[in-house]
Structure 1
Amino acid sequence: MIAAESISTLKTFFRENQIVHNEASSLFGNSGDVVVSPETEEEIAALLKHADSNGLTINIMGGGTKRGFGGSIEKTDILLSLENYTGIVEHTPGDMTLTVKAGTRFKDLQDYLAKHNQKISLDPYWPENATIGGIIAANESGPKRLGYGSARDAVIGLRTVYPDGKLIRSGGRVVKNVAGYDMNKLFIGAMGTLGVISEITLKLRPIPKCESLVLVSFPKGNLEEIKSFAVKVLDSMIEPVSLELLNPALSDKLAGINAYTIAMSFEDVESSVRYQEKFVSSLLSDDAELFIYQKEKAELFWQQFYRHIPNGADNEVPIQTEASLKIGTVNLDAVQVLKETELLQDQYNVKIESHGGLGHGLSQVTIRGAESDVANTAAHVRDIAEKTGGYAIVTHLPFELRKKIDVWGNKPSYFFLLQGIKAKVDPNKTLSPNRFIGGI
């Protein structure tokens, strides 16, 4: 429990309404005894310096969508909320770059950029809730990673506040920046354990002239046929932005197609999109079915897609226990992962919605059911991933279950490097304690 004298000290840095006692508990943990909402970078630095000097711990929250991702401590002393630290710092349309404060919600950014015919080439879940800082801190990406790349590919510069209150800059505000080490990558995906990302500079891309979604379903569920089709697409000259395999449950939910379905997104000038649609149709076997969604229907599909997984910002307690896992494998092994996880539904009496990138090898598995069944299923999913030589990370789980399940799995061979960096940057373990791999 944070001491009264520390709260009194904080009131010298912040207004009364920026400090709120947090008596309520969260289903997902990662909370704090006191919620502090800075509005400037200087306030963030002052808060961190005070906490680090006085042995206080801090959790960080943007939109709250990732509250169920990592963390074995229910409450730290302080929950640093970036809810009021929002806004665009600089937008240079000609250079196609944008600098923004970390608490800005992703959808707000995309809505602003659309007026300039530009967008950020990322596709996170729950874009209306997720903040750009949280997306970068978790290195989040969606099925369009195949064409867009990851958060590490979109970021060209960061401003980060260290636990001792010092501000560091990494990268820059121009795309061609090759001086020194790429320090940005140190903080992207570190889950806020090394510093508070305050500003992000991103490279942009133009909004495409034409967009469509091609769905190819396989009613017989033949794995070899699915792999063969994916190989033909990957070996061809066409450039889908996504090549995502949906399991029957998710395909039925999003498109009314109760079969394994590959979702291919095309973004380009109209002539190129139409050519690629036609080319895909020429690759089909007799057992495959083709559906083409044009711009409006394609956008509706993706809107539903990015909202199908659990949301840590949801205040309503779900009827069933929910879990999501991110799985990394060799590209086409995602087919086998989805097939084997599908079989777990009857074994554990759960519902599973899953999808996997056949061009990048990342899969997402969402499990819903009774608490013990979800826990057992999640453990089995990790076994399936590791059997293929891959890994599985639990990206959403209620706090009580996270105390029983190892969210991150086995420590990687380079874990000692992560420990060394944490010890150097945050020796007092002030920021996001136990939120990252191996309890870092």
Structure 2
Amino acid sequence: MIAERLFSDLQALFSAEQVQETTEAHPLGNGGEVTVYPTSEAEIAAVLTYANQHGYTVSTMGAGTKRGFGGLVQSANILLSLSRYKGIVEHVPGDMTVTVKAGTPFKELQDYLATYGQQLSLDPYWPEIATVGGVVAANDSGPKRHGYGSCRDIVIGMRLVYPDGQIIRSGGKVVKNVAGYDMNKLFIGSMGTLAVISEITLKLRPLPKCESLVVIAFRSRALMNIRSLVTQILDSMLEPISLQLMSPSLSRELIGEDAYCLAIALEDVESSVRYQEKVLQKLGAPQAVVSIQSEEERIRFWHHFYRTGINGATFIQGESLTVGLKIGVKNLDALKVVETADVLANSYDVRIRAHGGIGQGLCQIDISGESKDVLAAIAEMRKQAHELKGYAVVTHAPLVFRQQISVWGEKPAQFFLYEGIKSKIDPNKMLNHKRFVGGI
């Protein structure tokens, strides 16, 4: 009855093609009984105002690549899809800033900026599908975070719609903003639990004059050799954009090398890139093979790399369980995390692909297999993360599995602050309920 009333009410507010009834439950959850596709900020506000006044819950989604990340609810009353709310609002090439609507596909924006010799210095997975708003809401980033930072480093302003329909603005549209608390950081990574991101203003970088990919394969698989070489790189004058260690299983898949491999991205003027290539060739390590990839190989490598992650938008429930983990530790401890993941693949009947950023300590672990084996592997990875004083978050899993485990791990000491902010902004708990830490 609720779905019928919702459908009828929303059809009165929007055109017929903007409102759809849900016919079946999605295995990743985070859906809605009725889906609404707004095409303007005013329509986003209208949906939230209506839901708030009638006591309905709302789940938000861009393209759905992160649908399996967090959330303990199968369906809210309304699924607010921003997939049709896209486009560039303003681009000021001279100031190197751009303002875009939240539903804009990431690659679509990058292709546009490339015509001006500029880029957005983020590298999320599935860039042709992932939306800018989704990337910011989940604080998503890839290997190049080592050199370019995360969303919190490049977002300079946002327009947001609060759960009651109120539209607010944080930050500004210039790189040098006013002093004081950066409100943007409150919403980045909050998984849409505080407000719906409407527009985002980002600072840009020029496209690099030259790019290179250097792959170092450690065929001895000795962790001490990898640590020694990485320490030399970090202590040198080299400026790699990424310093990503891949497990043998991932290395086999991407470059056909059955070894731990270090993928080093270099971006600068050509003379600097060539110099850094030569330095890397001279460093060396026992049984380490250094290879400078051709331009074609470099493009192919990164194309496949960003599509190895789990994609919630195309997820199909299979016989085996697939789970994604994000583990954060101190930079060099990423070596231990990737090694442990490789060992667990042999200890349990699971398939594991793992890689970690040596310079920034973020690791991505994808585990597939039977539920009991996957659970055991997750427990081992979490145990190690805690021993290393880090954290482990489940970034993808079917809903029934997320309801069995603690996706975010133990509540942090500052959890009471999260609760206080949530209760102040969304007292009715209507927006992305139970999507964030501690079931917020």
Q: How would you bin the TM-score normalised by the shorter chain?
A: over 0.9
Shift of 1:72: 0.4
Equivalenced residue count is 440
Shift of 1:315: 4.6
Equivalence for 1:260:
260
Alignment of 1:197-236 (within 5 A): 197-236=197-236
Residue pair 1:2, 1:56 contacting (<8 A) in 2 also = no
Aligned mates of 1:18, 1:407 — CA distance in 2: 32
Please list the CA deviations of residues 356-382 of structure 1 after superposition, one character each: whole Å capped at 9, or x if unmatched. Answer: 111001101010112332222122211
Equivalence for 1:59:
59
Aligned mates of 1:94, 1:319 — CA distance in 2: 53
SS of 2:257's partner is: coil
Equivalence for 2:433:
433
Moved more, 90-99 or 338-347: 338-347
Equivalence for 1:119:
119
Please list the CA deviations of residues 38-74 of structure 1 after superposition, one character each: whole Å capped at 9, or x if unmatched. Answer: 0000000010011111111111110100011000001
Shift of 1:166: 0.3
Aligned mates of 2:433, 2:133 — CA distance in 1: 18
Shift of 1:342: 1.4
Alignment of 1:97-246 (within 5 A): 97-246=97-246
1:423 matched to 2:431: no
Shift of 1:320: 2.8
Aligned mates of 2:292, 2:368 — CA distance in 1: 30
Residue pair 2:3, 2:34 contacting (<8 A) in 1 also = no
Residue pair 2:7, 2:21 contacting (<8 A) in 1 also = no
| Structure 1 runs of 4+ with >4 Å offset | none
SS of 1:156's partner is: strand
Aligned mates of 1:346, 1:256 — CA distance in 2: 19
- Equivalent residue letter for 1:317: Q
Alignment gaps of 5+ in structure 2: none
Shift of 1:179: 3.2
Please list the CA deviations of residues 365-414 of structure 1 after superposition, one character each: whole Å capped at 9, or x if unmatched. Answer: 01011233222212221112111111100000011111101100011110
Residue pair 1:211, 1:266 contacting (<8 A) in 2 also = yes
- Equivalent residue letter for 1:323: V
Aligned mates of 1:325, 1:286 — CA distance in 2: 31
Alignment of 1:6-405 (within 5 A): 6-318=6-318, 320-405=320-405
Please list the CA deviations of residues 151-170 of structure 1 after superposition, one character each: whole Å capped at 9, or x if unmatched. Answer: 11110100000000001100
Alignment gaps of 5+ in structure 1: none
Distance 1:262 1:66, change over 3 A: same
**Pairwise CA RMSD:** 1.1
Aligned mates of 1:286, 1:337 — CA distance in 2: 22
Shift of 1:135: 0.1
- Equivalent residue letter for 2:142: G
Aligned mates of 2:274, 2:5 — CA distance in 1: 66
Distance 1:381 1:43, change over 3 A: same
| Percent of aligned pairs with the same amino acid | 55
Residue pair 2:225, 2:286 contacting (<8 A) in 1 also = no
Residue pair 1:210, 1:295 contacting (<8 A) in 2 also = no
Shift of 1:319: 5.0
